[in-house]
Amino acid sequence: MTNKTIALLGQPNSGKSSIFNSLTGMHQHVGNWPGKTVEKKEGTFEHNGVSYTIADLPGSYSLSANSDEEIVTRDYIVKKDVDMVCVLADSSQLERSLYMLADFAGLKTPVMLALTMSDVAKTKGKDIDTKALSKKLGIEVCSVIAYDKKTFEPLYKAIEDTINYGQILNADELYNTLASSDIAPEYEAAIDIATGLADDRRSAEWIASKILEEDELVLRELKIKNIDKVPVSSDCAVKVSNARFAWIDSVISDSVTNSKKPSELLSKFDKKAIAPVTGTLISIGMMVIALIGSMVVALPFMGLGGSIPSILNPLVDLLSSSLGVSETICHFIKSTLVTSLGWVISMVGFIFGMSFVFGILEEAGYMARVSYVFDRFMGKLGLQGKAIMPMVMGLGCTMGSISGAKVIDSYGQKILTIAVAWAVPCGATFVVIPTLATSFFGATGGMLVMLLIFAIMFLHIIVTAKIFGRKLNPVEKRTGIVMELPPYHKPRWGFVCKNSLMRMWDVFKKAFSMELIVCVIFYFLSYSSTGIEGSALYKIGVAIEPVSRFFGMGWQTFMSFFAAMISKEAVLGVLSAIFANSGSILDSTTGLAAASDNVAQLVAAAIPKAEALAFIIAVTFNVPCLQAVTATYNETHSAKWTATIGGYYICTALILAAIVYHIAAIFM
């Protein structure tokens, strides 16, 4: 079967990922580009007996070498053996979204233009003559609705024709504009230099435009070949950009008609939604409502996940009573397979809820406003404005933070957002920690402990952003946000639901095996038929107690700290198993045993206050939970970064505990 390679190219929010998902379905894989913190998505599909490999290139606004995403995108187009490029543009704001096509002009790779969100454009009164556009550009042009495969036949035909006839974008008018502009002398000089660099993928005109923009990669190429670059004025890059926009205007002047005025009501709301004060208040309110809505949507799934042990454990018991399977094996199945399945179902339910509710806001066009409003504040941490959403979601559940990070365009900033979001204590922490704090320090003291936790949280966020930002988003590469504010429109419910279900299934496939492996490891570390003292975890805890004492924890609290990496809810159960002899550490952690009602009082009587405070801080800022680790791996597609973030939080939790303990020991 013949195989062809297609690259999807377009600005963020142009519908690239939606087209990619619709074309490839489950036949896709995600990883990282070699040597780059940039996400790589590839997939396959078949049509009319031809197999296609399709690459969803990182969303970017141009092909200039301003970021790793843009460098990866450009290298793939000009260096890889790509049969064609499919440029996607948002029909509802065609004037701005065609800039990528204008920047592509001059490259010799066969290309077509797919106009997405044509249904939204129609509701806005925009009518686009694709045949007129095709004639003007000299390439195939089609309209497509990303979530509706019934509209894909013109797309398939355009792909086939582009590959069969090798259609190249007609860029003569664009470069004639540059040749007759007030930077014509610089352009002509750049053409002379670029002629020697042109190849079968790049025209001299395209290279010349990059010379005028002082593109980093082209200038490096000139330096390697000992070619002096053209002296350009500071506004050359701006004038090249203006020429592209002028070309876009001429291209669409006879192809697009607009018969509808924008809604005055939405215009008034939008002014408030992007204003510094009202926009911030509206954004916070919307995110809180969305977080609550996500939990409501997730409740049925989380309820099912929580019910898995009560449904399956009796069936496992039948293995013992009916088939004579040993109780040890049955206990192993309950503690590992059943527990893992229940946890993963709960996790993917929450991810479905977050993806669905926040997907609706994104579909409606509102999430871009949140990014815009918070960009200046988040920029001080080296993050995009979009990062505020995952961080707020973390107050409910860290998995929500990690799932919400998918909206970050840059892969490096996505990892940075996840690393910072781990510092936000989740809802489970706010259930466990206040109980312990109140038992040790009373109501007033408990409130002071919570204030201390929030103070450490803000400090932790700043320090974490500084540490990880050096690698993931270096200061010298940071720029202000560049984005389009999409028009408001009705959410496409079926599209959002389909994407959320696909994401949920993808997470389930990857998460279940990882959770099962960890549960098996924890089983053997904590299992004992002779009580807690017989477990490997106990022996490790006792052996390293001289070290853990430096961090303010004895073997009992250190074992609970270790169990908290599996589940924050396990902390009280493990303490109960140790101090009240209410069950095993394994059963307490996996939910097979509940905590004693008076565990907090028992622990308060047995542990010094300085140790208790150190333990509370250590648990709060420890690895959030096993599910958060799994979700991080699923989102980053990197065992290295998942392990790095996990190791960092274990270390910082111990360091914070040591500082708090040694200071508290002076006064308590």
Euclidean distance between the first and the last CA atom of the chain, given in angstroms as a whole number: 76
CB 153: neighbour CB atoms within 10 A? 12
Taking residues 165-191, report their average pLDDT.
Answer: 86
Does the pLDDT value for residue 407 go beyond 80?
no
3-state secondary structure (DSSP) of residue 360: helix
Percent of the chain as helix, strand, coil, to the nearest 5: 65, 10, 25
Which tens digits make up the pLDDT trace of 641-666? Answer: 999 999 999 999 999 999 999 999 88
Instruction: Judge whether 28 and 59 are in contact, CB under 8 Å.
Output: no
**Domains of the chain and any CATH numbers:** 3-170 (3.40.50.300), 173-258 (1.10.287)
Residue 504 has a pLDDT of: 84
Q: What DSSP line would sit under 15-29, residue for residue?
A: SHHHHHHHHHTT-EE
Per-residue confidence at 262, pLDDT binned at 50, 70, 90? low
Of 169, 108, 159, 165, the residue nearest 135 (C-alpha): 169
Question: pLDDT value at position 613?
Answer: 93
What strands, in cross-sheet order, belong to the sheet with 50-56? Answer: 28-32, 39-47, 50-56, 3-10, 84-90, 111-116, 141-143
Instruction: For residues 357 and 362, give the distance between their C-alpha atoms in angstroms, rounded to a whole number.
Output: 9
For residue 96, count other CB atoms closer than 10 A to its CB: 16
Give the strand pairing for 28-32 and 39-47: antiparallel
Per-residue model confidence as pLDDT tens digits over 598-622 = 666 777 777 889 998 999 999 999 9
**Does residue 218 surpass a pLDDT of 90?**
no
Query: What's the average model confidence in pLDDT over 293-306?
Result: 86
pLDDT digits (tens, 9 = 90+) for 458-484: 999 999 999 998 888 777 666 555 556
> What phi and psi values does residue 32 have, to the nearest 5 degrees?
-125, 145
25: confidence class by pLDDT, cuts 50, 70, 90: confident
- Cα gap 449→610, rounded to integer Å: 12
Report whether 623 contacts 629 (CB < 8 A). Answer: yes
pLDDT > 80? residue 457: yes
Q: Please state, in angstroms and rounded to a whole number, the distance separating the CA atoms of residues 476 and 496.
A: 37
Token reading at 29: 């894989």
Proportion of the chain above pLDDT 70, given as a percent: 93
d(CA 90, CA 114): 9
Write out the two tokens for 331: 């206990």
Confidence check: pLDDT of 153 > 70: yes
Q: How many residues does the chain have?
A: 668
Out of 202-206, 285-289, 319-323, least confident range: 319-323
- What's the longest Cα–Cα distance across the chain? 91
pLDDT band at 583; cut points 50, 70, 90: low
At residue 552 the predicted structure's pLDDT band, cuts being 50, 70 and 90, is: very high
34 pLDDT higher than 80: no
